[in-house]
Amino acid sequence: MKRTLALLVALGALVSVFNLRAQDPERDSIMHALKTIDPEIVRYFPRWRVCEPNLQLQIRQTFILYGRDKDKLDMQNIVITAAPKSDPNDYYTILLVECGEEYFVASEVDAYMRKLAGTLSDPQRPYCYREIPPETPPTERQYRVITDFMLPTDVAHSISVSAFEQSLKIGGTGFWIRSILGTDNVGYHFWSAGESRVILQRPLYENTDPVSSKPIPYLINFRLGGVYRLRGGLDNRLLSFLPARQLNANPGKASIGLDVNAPFHPQFGLSFNIEFPITGPDTAGAVEKNTWATYTPSLQRQAELRRTTGVDPSVVVPVLRTTGNVALFYNWWLDPKRPENFFRFDLGVCYTEVQEWAYRRNAETGDTTFVRNVAGLQLYHPTTAADWLYARIEYRSQSTFPFGVAVQYANQMLFARAYVPLIGEWLYLEGKYATPLRSEPRPWEIKNFFMISPVLRLTIR
């Protein structure tokens, strides 16, 4: 009843606005009439942000054409305010179009942007837009203060699905369940690492700082999961356009991670991740050779392997075992009051261990089994400062066209990731690229490995 009464008062005020527009064409008078309506009522007017790039550009150009100050325009902050309507099939009556600090009132919308107004006022709104909820004051900017659009902190439920990752946020608990393909933190993305993982992320300590609690709701996040070996992907039937995989995961690994934000300054923190084997190779059981990626060693190493009784010298099996990184990180918004531009910096050390296994024929059973730690097989691990160094920088635009790009150096691999929205905030396109920077890439490392995937992303606030 109270809200209905407020809306009736609002409609009466709107009549005054329209009468004033007919009597006095001066924009400041009309703007004043609109702004003097009780904000508690105005917040129930239909309001939304335009996030359609082409429409944003046309609106901005119209403002410029009619003499508005370019420096005050903001194409990423276009807000439409319309009159309340009783029939959802009726066209909206546009009262105000704001572009940054400049605006057009109703009379100017009719005079300067009649064609665009037809699109903006369409009851179906056939363009990308973001509704501004009634509980949001009219003067508050709607930029989202979060640290990751794919793992948003400002929603109760979230589901995202892509070829790289599937994630689910469980209610308002802060719990995440994630299934991740590849080992991005050492530069082996998608199935090039030969492994995937399922992780449960659990918040441990709530952030009570009122300034930073929205983007960083928890000071400690703990991750625990298991890593499993990918058995397929060697014949590339569905992904024939990609190079063949030549690396394998150790069968049976544990994954542990921890992010700790500093209580005195939550934007700063420490990240720790490690994945390690919990089982070794089955040296007694038969090997399904067609599920393991292999490569041919050098002639010198083949000669060494021939001296090891029963070992097949023609192929070796590279197995990714322990990986991890420890890094200091910092989250930085260029303007905290208008958090459109977000950076994250990580700097630390990483560890990658790849062990070569070989095939051996069991003389008693005739089965092929595994052997390791024999002459001719190598253990690859960090030996230089370049092997240990881990550095990453990430930028995200958090306005009405959210996109992100990240560049990482780890394990002497260059890794890059980017995502852009395709339709609204529910369909994105994500791409990942990696290439080795060593003077002599290791046998399993793929040069210029690029992969793209659509991302379906659904959220409920």
Segment 105-124, tens digit of pLDDT:
888 888 888 888 888 989 88
Q: Across residues 324-335, what is the average pLDDT?
A: 93
What is the tally of helices (H) and strands (E) in the chain?
A: 8, 23
| Residue 71 to residue 22: CA distance in whole angstroms | 31
Of 32 and 417, more confident: 417
CB atoms < 10 A from the CB of 429, how many?
A: 15
DSSP state of 14: H
Relative orientation angle of helices 2-23 and 27-35, to the nearest 10 degrees: 170
- pLDDT category at 250 given cuts 50, 70, 90 is very high
| Residue 359 to residue 369: CA distance in whole angstroms | 6
| Residue 226 to residue 176: CA distance in whole angstroms | 15
pLDDT value at residue 234: 65
CA angle 377, 369, 360 (to 5 degrees): 55
Beta bridge mates, 408: 392, 415
pLDDT in tens, 178-191: 999 999 999 999 98
Select from 405, 448, 399, 435 the least CA-distant residue to 76.
399
pLDDT value at residue 150: 76
Tell me: pLDDT of 440 over 70.
yes
Select from 118, 80, 117 the least CA-distant residue to 99.
80
| Residue 204 to residue 222: CA distance in whole angstroms | 7
Question: Which residues, in sequence order, are CB contacts of 323 under 8 Å at separation 6+?
Answer: 183, 185, 186, 274, 275, 350, 351, 352, 353
pLDDT value at residue 26: 47
Q: Residue 164 has which token pair?
A: 């790289």
Q: Which residue has the tokens 């007017």?
A: 45
pLDDT value at residue 13: 43
pLDDT value at residue 301: 87
Of 321 and 15, more confident: 321
259 φ/ψ sector (left φ>0, alpha ψ -120 to 50, else beta): beta
> In whole angstroms, how far apart are CA 432 and each of 192, 232, 442?
12, 20, 20
- Mean pLDDT lowest among 8-17, 153-162, 355-364, 442-451: 8-17
Q: Across residues 196-205, what is the average pLDDT?
A: 92
Q: Across residues 313-335, what is the average pLDDT?
A: 93
- Reported pTM: 0.71
pLDDT value at residue 3: 45
> In whole angstroms, how far apart are CA 408 and each of 150, 312, 439?
18, 38, 18
Of 302 and 392, more confident: 392
Q: Residue 151 has which token pair?
A: 């793992």
- pLDDT category at 74 given cuts 50, 70, 90 is confident
DSSP H/E element including 114: helix 114-120
Q: Which ranges in 173-256 belong to alpha helices (H)? A: none
Tell me: pLDDT of 200 over 50.
yes
Burial environment of residue 359 by CB neighbours within 10 A (0 to 12, 13 to 18, 19 or more): buried
Question: Which residues, in sequence order, are CB contacts of 88 under 8 Å at separation 6+?
Answer: 123
pLDDT in tens, 381-406: 999 999 999 999 999 987 767 889 99
Q: How far apart are the first and last CA of the chain?
A: 26
Dihedral sign of CA atoms 174, 187, 193, 318 in order: negative
Select from 279, 282, 370 the least CA-distant residue to 318.
370
Cβ contact 279:370 at 8 Å: no
Beta bridge mates, 326: 272, 349
Q: Across residues 238-258, what is the average pLDDT?
A: 86
Collapsed DSSP state (helix, strand, coil) of residue 184:
helix
Tell me: pLDDT of 5 over 50.
no
| Residue 360 to residue 19: CA distance in whole angstroms | 92
Beta bridge mates, 427: 423, 456
pLDDT in tens, 19-52: 434 444 444 555 545 544 455 566 678 888 888 8
| Residue 3 to residue 188: CA distance in whole angstroms | 56
pLDDT value at residue 40: 55
Cβ contact 331:215 at 8 Å: yes
